[in-house]
Amino acid sequence: DAGANPWRRLRRFRVTRYADDNVRVYKTVPLKLPKGWRGDINYSARTKDGRVVFDALPADGAGSYCGVLLLREGDPLARADSSPEDLRAALDSALPQFSVMLSDETVAEIAKKPPSRLPTFRYAGPRLHYGGSTVLLGDAIHTVKPYFGLGANSALEDVVEFAAALDDAADDVPTALRSFSRRRAGEAKTLVRI
C-alpha cells in the first residue's frame, strides 16, 4: 500500500500514558541568591498541604537561579494575570526564604505570566528491548515529574542496571536486553506513578 506509514511496522513497544490525578502547571521564577547561600546545589520547598512546590536550580556560577513554582492547575495563582498581592502573600507564607529574594516588580511579572504545562507522563513496558540489539533507557521508558528530581537519576540507574545485565550475561547482548527489561519495566511504571 503506497499510502501506508512505513514506520508503523517498527512500533514494537507498548507505551502507557499515566492519567495524572495531581496535575500541576508552573511559572518560572528568576532568582539571585544572597551572599552566604551555596550556589552549587538545587533548592526545593513544599507546603504541607501540597499547594505550592518550588524548585530552584543553578543557572550560572554567579548565583543566578531558575526557580520553578509548581501549582495545582485550578489554583488562582496559576492563572495568567493573577494578583501580584496574592502571589506575594502566598510566597511570604509558604516560601519566606525565597520570597525575600524577589522584588515586587519580579513578583508582578511572575503573576502576569501564563502557566506552562508539564509533559504528559508515560512509561514503556513490559518489554524495554527490541530483538537482540535495541534497548530503551531514560525518558524513552519513563517520563517523570520534574519536581521529584528523578529524571536524570533514574536514567543513570537505567545505565547501571543495563551494565549489570551485560555483566551477568557475560556480554551476551540479547540475553542482557531481556534481563534489563525484566529488571526495569516495573520500576519504569512506578517512577511515572509517584
Helix or strand or coil: residue 130? Answer: strand
Using alpha carbons only, what angle is made at residue 103 by residues 97 and 104, rounded to the nearest 5 degrees? 115
Determine contact, residues 99/91, Cβ cutoff 8 Å. yes
In order along the chain (194 residues), what is the average pLDDT of each group of 10 residues? 53 68 86 91 88 89 91 93 96 93 96 89 81 85 70 86 93 92 85 72
The residue type of 59 is A
Question: Measured between alpha carbons, how far is residue 12 from residues 87, 101, 136 in Å?
Answer: 47, 50, 11
Residue 7 CB partners (closer than 8 Å, separation 6+): none
Please answer whether residues 121 and 15 qualify as being in contact, where contact means their C-beta atoms are separated by less than 8 angstroms. Answer: no
Three-class SS state of 78: helix
- For the whole model, what pTM was predicted? 0.65
For residue 32, what pLDDT is reported? Answer: 93
Taking only the tens place, the pLDDT of each residue in 48-101 is 888 888 989 898 888 899 999 999 989 999 999 999 999 999 999 999 999 999
d(Cα 92, Cα 76) in Å, to the nearest integer? 16
